[in-house]
Amino acid sequence: EADIYQTPRYLVIGTGKKITLECSQTMGHDKMYWYQQDPGMELHLIHYSYGVNSTEKGDLSSESTVSRIRTEHFPLTLESARPSHTSQYLCASSETGQGSGNTIYFGEGSWLTVV
Amino acid sequence: RKEVEQDPGPFNVPEGATVAFNCTYSNSASQSFFWYRQDCRKEPKLLMSVYSSGNEDGRFTAQLNRASQYISLLIRDSKLSDSATYLCVVPPMDSSYKLIFGSGTRLLVRP
């Protein structure tokens, strides 16, 4: 069972509010990721990190930002939420290395609704 | 050509049936592949990994065809609980660690 946790699981906020989605993993994984997924649609990588102080933009443009100050923590922040940000956000991690090191583990997701 | 392609389905099969779906990939140098299962409104979970010619786990068999660049997932004796979306995952063509997820194949098992 993966040890990766996301909070909040569900959030409804008003337009213009600032929010931070938390993600923590206790597996000591170097690599962490944020994906965005609408119901019934495919996963889109929006941010990833190779380790502390490393963050990169993903394949899908996002107005969110991330930080990686500690190995286990990879929060995602939206400075000013809009209805178009309504979606599920999935945090994931994987360890460095070949073979099984590519296995990626997901948190349970954060469902964000912006009204 | 997309880096990974899957038939979106849905595959609608009766309980007890055998069903198989494929995933094609572009990077001929890829060494490791994965099948993930995603239930409705849940996170993807690792189902099987495929590192060489294939892998079997109970009713599930994953196979790799390097010559034709595809991996397959075979499910025998389908259960209602197998209804889900199955995601194919392949390594990227660049040197990054960004795994490439297919868009998924939806399976519906009916009574």
Predicted local distance difference test score (pLDDT) of residue A2: 67
pLDDT mean across residues, chain B: 91
Task: Specify whether the CB–CB gap between A4 and A105 falls below 8 A.
Answer: yes
pLDDT in tens, B38-53: 999 999 999 998 877 7
| DSSP codes joined into one string, A40-96 | TS--EEEEEEEETTEEEE-SS--S-EE--SBTTB--EEESS--GGG-EEEEEEEE-S
CB contact under 8 Å between B43 and A108, yes or no, is: yes
- Give the chain B residue nearest A33 (alpha carbons): B98
Closest in B31, B49, B87 to A103, CB measured: B49
What is the reported pLDDT for A82? 95
Nearest C-alpha of chain B: how many angstroms from A93?
11
Sequence-ordered alpha helix ranges (H) in B28-88? none
Write out the residues of chain B at the interface with chain A, using a CB-CB cutoff of 8 A.
31-32, 34, 40-46, 49, 51, 87, 89, 91, 97-99, 101-104
Which 3 state secondary structure label does DSSP give B77? coil
pLDDT digits (tens, 9 = 90+) for B71-96: 999 999 999 999 999 999 987 766 66
Report the share of chain B in percent with pLDDT over 70: 95
Query: How many Å apart are CA B75 and CA A26, to the nearest integer?
Result: 33
pLDDT at residue A36, rounded to an integer: 96
The sheet carrying A65-66 orders its strands as A4-7, A19-25, A76-78, A65-66
Q: What percent of chain B has a predicted confidence (pLDDT) above 90?
A: 71
Q: How far apart are the CA of A18 and the nearest CA of chain B, in angstroms?
A: 25
Residue A33, pLDDT score? 95
Buried b (16+ CB within 10 A) or exposed e, B40-64: eeebbebbbbbeeeebeeeebbbbb
Tens-digit pLDDT profile for residues A65-96: 999 999 999 999 999 999 999 999 999 998 76
